[in-house]
Amino acid sequence: MIETVYHILNAPGIAVLADLHGRPFEHVAELLRARRPEIICIPGDFVSGLWPGENRSPLDTQENVLPFLSACAVIAPSFLSLGNHEQYLDGADLKRIRSTGVTVLDNRWIARGGLVIGGLTSASVTAYRRFRAQAGQASSGVRYPRMQRRPPTLPDTAWLAAFGATPGYHILLCHHPEYFPHIPESIELVLSGHAHGGQWRVYNPIKRQWIGVFAPGQGLWPRWTKGVYEGRLVVSAGLSNTVSVPRFFNPTEIVCIEGGIE
């Protein structure tokens, strides 16, 4: 794992922890304890999206998740949003997550100390909730292995205008970088993951930069995989690998943001 530091004007000190996917976290916690960020932001995919089994919670089948979140909350005020891998978490799971001390931003925002921090929930999560509700099983605790048919989905962005109009410095946890065109410009900082750096990174001699090869939701030669885009979208290459294909020239990373100087 590498530590990547970006300087962004007016931003607070933030550690961005994306795509840990329920993996061991001690190396991450150790770095956080040394760095002491002002806040910790977890923009989704802190669990693995594998089907946990009927009536079982991912929080019970993945033993690292709650201890990871508890460790974060001890180090600094911590906030998370829901990525596509969080689709099997239900209301009871979110309550258990909140009990760690981490603030869950599920299509909502909070204002605190001059910061306005929001979390845009993955469309995969909202589509799955809709599926369960339509199946009449929303309160039974039954989880479905997968949706029968996956319609094209968009996140619920209706609340973003009011979020962006709330006075303060706006930070949006938004797991999917491909949602960026839907984010109002009044939001100063957008934190994403999901693209895993494009899985393989290759050097483009024309652009004179390293670029990712593939990302879910963006396809081949994705646009947003790692780095800072338009001065306000920060994309983490993520903290783990979830597919059988190895990462090439693409180490896992913890992203740290520091305020820039005017």
Which residues contact Fe ion (rule: CB under 5 A)? Answer: 45, 83-84, 194
Q: Decide: 260 and 9 in contact? Cβ < 8 Å.
A: yes
Shortest distance in whole angstroms from residue 207 CB to Fe ion = 25
What is the smallest separation between the CB atom of 83 and Fe ion, expressed in angstroms? 4
Residue 211, helix vs strand vs coil: strand
Strands 78-81 and 253-260, how do they pair? Answer: unpaired
Min dist. Cβ of residue 193 to Fe ion (A): 7
Q: Which is nearer to Fe ion, 4 or 48 (CB)?
A: 48
Closest residue to Fe ion in the complex (CB): 194
Write the single-letter amino acid at 123.
A
d(CA 153, CA 164): 23
Q: Are 88 and 58 in contact (CB under 8 A)?
A: yes
Q: Residue 115 or 215: which CB sits closer to Fe ion?
A: 215
Q: Token pair of 227, please?
A: 């780095």
- Least CB distance from residue 253 to Fe ion, whole Å? 15
Q: Give the list of residues 6+ apart from residue 129 with CB closer than 8 angstroms, or none.
A: 138
In the bound state with Fe ion, the residue whose beta carbon lies nearer, of 76 and 127, is 127
Give whichever of 39 and 123 is closer to Fe ion, judged by the CB atom.
123
Q: How far is the CB of 206 from Fe ion (least distance, A)?
A: 29
Only one residue has tokens 């806040």, namely 39
Name the residue nearer to Fe ion (CB basis): 21 or 76.
21
